[in-house]
Amino acid sequence: MKPIFKGVRGAPDILPGEVGRWQRVEAEARRILQDYGYQEIRTPIFERTELFVRGIGEGTDIVEKQMYTFEDRGKESLTLRPEGTAPVIRACLEHHLLTRGGLYKVYYTGPMFRHERPQAGRFRQFHQIGAEAIGVEDPALDAEVLDLLCHLFDTLGVSGWKLHLNSIGDEACRPVFREQFTRYVQAKKEKLCPDCRVRLERNPLRILDCKEEGCRSLVAQAPSPLESLCKDCKTHFHRLQELLGLLKIDYSVNEHLVRGLDYYTRTAFEFVNPALGAQNAIAGGGRYDRLVDEMGGPPMPGIGFAIGMERLLISLPQEEQGEMWIGVFAATLGKEASQLALQIVQGLRRQGVRASLDLEGRSLKSQMRLAHKERYRYTLILGDEELKTGLATLKDMAKGDQEQIPLREVVNRLVSQESRGRAE
RNA sequence: GUGAGCGUAGCUCAACGGUCAGAGCACUGGACUGUGGCUCCAGGGGUUGAGGGUUCAAAUCCCUUCGCUCACCCCA
Distance (Å, rounded) from C-alpha A158 to C-alpha A276?
A: 12
Q: From the C1' of B76, which residue's alpha carbon is nearest?
A: A308
**CA–C1' A130–B69 (A):** 29
Helix (H) or strand (E) run with residue A171 in it? none
**CA–C1' A32–B11 (A):** 38
Amino acid A423: pLDDT? 56
Amino acid A320: pLDDT? 65
Q: From the C1' of B30, which residue's alpha carbon is nearest?
A: A365
Question: A363-409, pLDDT tens digit by residue?
Answer: 888 899 999 988 899 999 999 889 999 999 999 998 888 999 998 88
Mean pLDDT of A187-191: 81
Q: Where are the alpha helices (DSSP H) in A39-187?
A: 49-56, 61, 85-94, 139-156, 174-187
pLDDT band at A185 (very low <50, low <70, confident <90, very high): confident
Q: Which nucleotide is nearest to A389 (CA to C1')?
A: B34
Structural domains in chain A, CATH included, are 16-173+229-314 (3.30.930.10), 328-423 (3.40.50.800)
Mean pLDDT of A347-370: 90
Question: A18-64, pLDDT tens digit by residue?
Answer: 898 999 999 999 999 999 999 999 999 999 999 999 999 988 899 98
Question: A90-133, pLDDT tens digit by residue?
Answer: 999 999 999 888 999 999 999 999 999 999 999 999 999 999 99
Chain A span 350-369 residues with beta carbon within 7 Å of strand B = 362-366, 368-369
**CA–C1' A126–B48 (A):** 33
Beta strands in A298-367 (DSSP E): 302-308, 328-332, 355-357
ipTM: 0.87
**CA–C1' A5–B58 (A):** 29
Chain A span 295-314 residues with beta carbon within 7 Å of strand B = 306-308, 310-311
Mean pLDDT for chain A overall: 91
Distance (Å, rounded) from C-alpha A337 to C-alpha A357?
A: 11
